[in-house]
Structure 1
Amino acid sequence: MGWLQSLFSPLKKLWFRKHSTTHKKTEDINILHEDVKSCQYEDVHVLWSILVDSQTPPLTSKR
C-alpha cells in the first residue's frame, strides 16, 4: 500500500495547492476591498482605484 500512497501523494498536494490558492486570493481581495470601502480616508480610495485600474488590460487603439 505504500507505493499507492507515494503515487497519489504528489497529485493530492498539487490538487489542494491549485484549488486553495485560487480561492484564497479571491477571498483576500474581497476582504481588502471591504476594508477599503469602510475606510474614511480619501487617499486610500484613490490608491485602491489606481491599483484596480492597473490590473485591467489597457485599451488598444485601432489605426
Structure 2
Amino acid sequence: MGWLQSLISPLKKLWFQMHSTHKKRRGIYILYEDVKSCPYEDVHVLWSILVESHSSSLPLKK
C-alpha cells in the first residue's frame, strides 16, 4: 500500500498547485463587474493601468 501512497502524493500536490495558481491569477478580476458599472472615467483609467501592470508581471507559459 506504500507504493500507492507514493504515487498519489505527488499527483495530489500537483493538483493543489494547479488550482491554487488559478485562484491567484483571478485576483483583481473579482472587482471587474464593480469597476465596469462605475460611472467615473477616472476609475476606468486606473483599472486599465492596474490590469496592464498585473498582466505584465505574470510569467509566460511555455
Q: What TM-score range do you get, normalising by the shorter chain?
A: 0.5 to 0.7
Instruction: Kindly report structure 1 stretches of 4+ aligned residues shifted beyond 3 Å.
Output: 25-30, 53-56
Q: 1:26 offset after TM fit, Å?
A: 5.1
Mapped partners of 1:33, 1:5: distance in 2? 42
Point out where structure 1 has 5 or more consecutive residues left out of the alignment. 57-63
Which whole-Å deviations, capped at 9, do the CAs of 1:3-53 have from their partners, x for residues lacking one? Answer: 3213321222212321x1343245444422112112233332111111233
Mapped partners of 2:42, 2:20: distance in 1? 30
In angstroms, what is the RMSD of aligned CA positions? 2.6
After superposition, where does 1:32-51 map in structure 2 within 5 Å? 32-51=31-50
Assess, with a 3 A threshold, how the Cα gap between structure 1 residues 7 and 50 changes in structure 2: closer, same or farther. same
- Per the alignment, residue 16 of structure 1 pairs with 16
Give the number of equivalent residue pairs: 55
Taking CA–CA contacts closer than 8 Å with sequence separation of 6 or more, which of the two structures ends up with the larger relative contact order?
Answer: 2
Point out where structure 2 has 5 or more consecutive residues left out of the alignment. 57-62
Q: Structure 1 stretch 20-29 or stretch 33-42: which is displaced more?
A: 20-29
Q: How does the TM-score come out when normalised to structure 2?
A: 0.53
